[in-house]
Structure 1
């Protein structure tokens, strides 16, 4: 049975956050015109609060490289790159090299350390292509997609560390519908846990011994882009990269949290589109004004959602809107 048939049977989806069916992506690269196809392992993990890829590299590098070797064999790819954030490179380089050597990929494998100044956007798939190619690190217009025209215009497969890990399990007949969860905040045992992928946030917190005994709310899917939920909304699965960050409802300052999100997006904007570049800067200004013009603030948030060039700018409204709605009850006076 072909590896893509096994992946389809397992209903495997990508674990980078978008949840795209893995087999469809692999088949797209396979069917694309071009002989110099390549594979990129995305280990940028720039979303605050998400630590699963680092955990996998530390403990399951061999499985990750096995999944990569399967992809390269299926695609006939001649080269693979591990696009990795600097901290993980320092911590896990030797362990990864051991796994590379054992996989037989040594002559076709290359590290590419994510530039320190590339920011959060440096982990976006087309920005990764630009980084490796020596171009300005900013998102490309899509289409064409990397599966059609990626690194040096060659069809390119870009998958997350956890995705390749899961492919290895699928190949060995050991795959279970599970995923890695990162739990953060003022809890008893923060860390990375492996549980069924359909578990609710409440189940993950309870089983891990991290369900708070104080009034709280959570941000699920990343500390920058994740949705904010109150205690009555935990009967759903963690979205995106499956991180769950707990906040103490009584101790968390709304103004500080809003400022954190806006500062993060302002700092990490690549500057390519006016909406994101100027919009986040203006939101920072508004947040410091007394009294604040909430109508203008809301309009700017809507504009980011509707007109940003890439997912960075359009993601800021997710935590902001959900926090106002689910925690603050749309009461701007609580800021």
Structure 2
């Protein structure tokens, strides 16, 4: 019987993968649902088992299956590993995505699964922590804090109970790596969390997944049930968030798991000392925990040997927005923005010139093409006034209005603020008003329509240079005075837009931007 592999990933299904599977089933083809390979331009992707290996075709529509089965389909790719998008990648974390059945324990074990957990449990907890520290692994979701140091703190803190928490609240625009990993290789995340539990002495873990990821929630719950005997005595469960962006901040996430309103906690105490339910807690991003099995199985040196400067290992980089080759590209740190956007991403989908890219989600800085020689590295980005964050890159062509994008950052912050600190809660609203006065055109901050006296004050003409100075001062206050990164990072897109695209603040807002 012919065997075909088709992704069951949420993005692939949205592009018609289920219809393709139905057409294959009618023809008596055995279908294995996998995760996505990570290049959405070629989805739905169909791989057929042949004596030469798996031969890929994509994109494929349901009415084209006969051409796939007889080998005449025009979109024949061949071996997916030879495709120009995949050939240069270094897939440490995503090696199994698109290859295995995500919920098959046998498939996972056949591709190296559980070797790291077995190896870790044969070592002392301190030896495992030392291995993670030696690898140079840093947090893959925010400021890049060394993972091993966080684990060491939890290990050294005495407590009758400790927790492992996975932050899967992937809320940044243009990011999808967490979802892809959970839907395509869930046992990898489970194994990483079980290793972390052994390393610090934790008995229970939680995976906090945003409610907008129904596929990932379903797959992770099924995977946990199947893996439970393998990871015992460590127990694991899924908690579903309710859509608040601020719950991506680790302490607000902990409050949410505890059944409280998601609000940012003041630090200290750090979660590693007093975290979930007041107990020492390891809280890491999906990509950080999913990198651990490779590190333990292959050794810290194998991971540490790849990378750039103090940024070691690989990073699953997500290309989104107005880009031809949108998808996930895993590579060692050090690759430049230009290589990612132009060579790997293929430039804009519209064919127009790239005007800017935003790196790190809605609160990331904007970088113009003049800065595309910037290496993908934590320190290099920090020095350039930006951050890597979750490694999402959103591409914009030359039609984008950067004054509008700066205002959106303030509006986003105002909408998503938990309200606990003044610089974020009030500063974002004042930021919208100030940008409205700079660009003119009568745009008003949301929510002020019912307050005419404030609306009139916001629209009152002032000296433009003074308004820009006021906006910069406001950004400085938000950056250094906010309780968490929501208010603290909002200045990055605003200031980078001002610095690199001052001309967009010189003219009245366009009709498109005003919408």
2:368 aligned with 1:230, yes or no? yes
Match of 1:279 in 2: 427
2:285 aligned with 1:160, yes or no? yes
Deviation at 1:15, TM superposition (A): 0.6
The 2-side partners of 1:29 and 1:93 are apart by 27
Report the secondary structure of 1:111's partner residue: strand
Answer yes or no: is the 8 Å Cα contact 2:317–2:392 preserved in 1. Answer: yes
Match of 1:35 in 2: 160
Deviation at 1:211, TM superposition (A): 2.9
Deviation at 1:334, TM superposition (A): 4.2
Corresponding residue to 2:396 among 217, 236, 247: 247
The 1-side partners of 2:172 and 2:254 are apart by 19
Match of 1:191 in 2: 327
What aligned pairs does 1:1-335 form with structure 2 within 5 A after superposition? 2-88=127-213, 90-100=214-224, 101-102=226-227, 104-105=230-231, 108-116=235-243, 119-173=244-298, 175=303, 177-212=313-348, 214-238=352-376, 239-249=388-398, 251-289=399-437, 290=440, 291=461, 293-328=467-502, 332-334=505-507
Deviation at 1:105, TM superposition (A): 4.3
**170-179 vs 38-47, greater mean Cα deviation:** 170-179
Deviation at 1:296, TM superposition (A): 2.9
Answer yes or no: is the 8 Å Cα contact 1:294–1:332 preserved in 2. Answer: no
RMSD value, Cα: 2.1
The 2-side partners of 1:112 and 1:237 are apart by 36
The 1-side partners of 2:390 and 2:359 are apart by 5
Answer yes or no: is the 8 Å Cα contact 2:275–2:281 preserved in 1. Answer: yes
* TM-score normalised by L of structure 1: 0.91
- Cα displacement string for residues 141-195 of structure 1 (whole angstroms, at most 9, x for unaligned residues): 1111000000111000000100111001112217452111111122111122112
Q: Structure 1 unaligned segments of length 5 or more: list them.
A: none
**318-327 vs 174-183, greater mean Cα deviation:** 174-183
Q: Structure 2 unaligned segments of length 5 or more: list them.
A: 1-122, 307-312, 377-387, 441-460, 509-515
The 2-side partners of 1:58 and 1:277 are apart by 35
Deviation at 1:206, TM superposition (A): 3.6
Q: Which has the larger radius of gyration?
A: 2
Report the secondary structure of 2:498's partner residue: helix
**300-309 vs 142-151, greater mean Cα deviation:** 300-309
Shift in alpha-carbon separation, 1:4–1:47, aligned structure 2, 3 A: same
The 2-side partners of 1:44 and 1:86 are apart by 9
Shift in alpha-carbon separation, 1:130–1:264, aligned structure 2, 3 A: same
Shift in alpha-carbon separation, 1:223–1:16, aligned structure 2, 3 A: closer
Answer yes or no: is the 8 Å Cα contact 1:262–1:316 preserved in 2. Answer: yes
The 1-side partners of 2:203 and 2:425 are apart by 38
Deviation at 1:112, TM superposition (A): 0.9
**219-228 vs 143-152, greater mean Cα deviation:** 219-228
Report the secondary structure of 2:212's partner residue: helix
- Cα displacement string for residues 87-130 of structure 1 (whole angstroms, at most 9, x for unaligned residues): 22x112332234322253477111111123xx221111111111
The 2-side partners of 1:185 and 1:93 are apart by 25
Deviation at 1:81, TM superposition (A): 0.3
Answer yes or no: is the 8 Å Cα contact 2:326–2:345 preserved in 1. Answer: no
The total of aligned residue pairs comes to 330
Match of 2:26 in 1: none
Higher relative contact order structure (alpha carbons within 8 Å, sequence separation ≥ 6) = 1
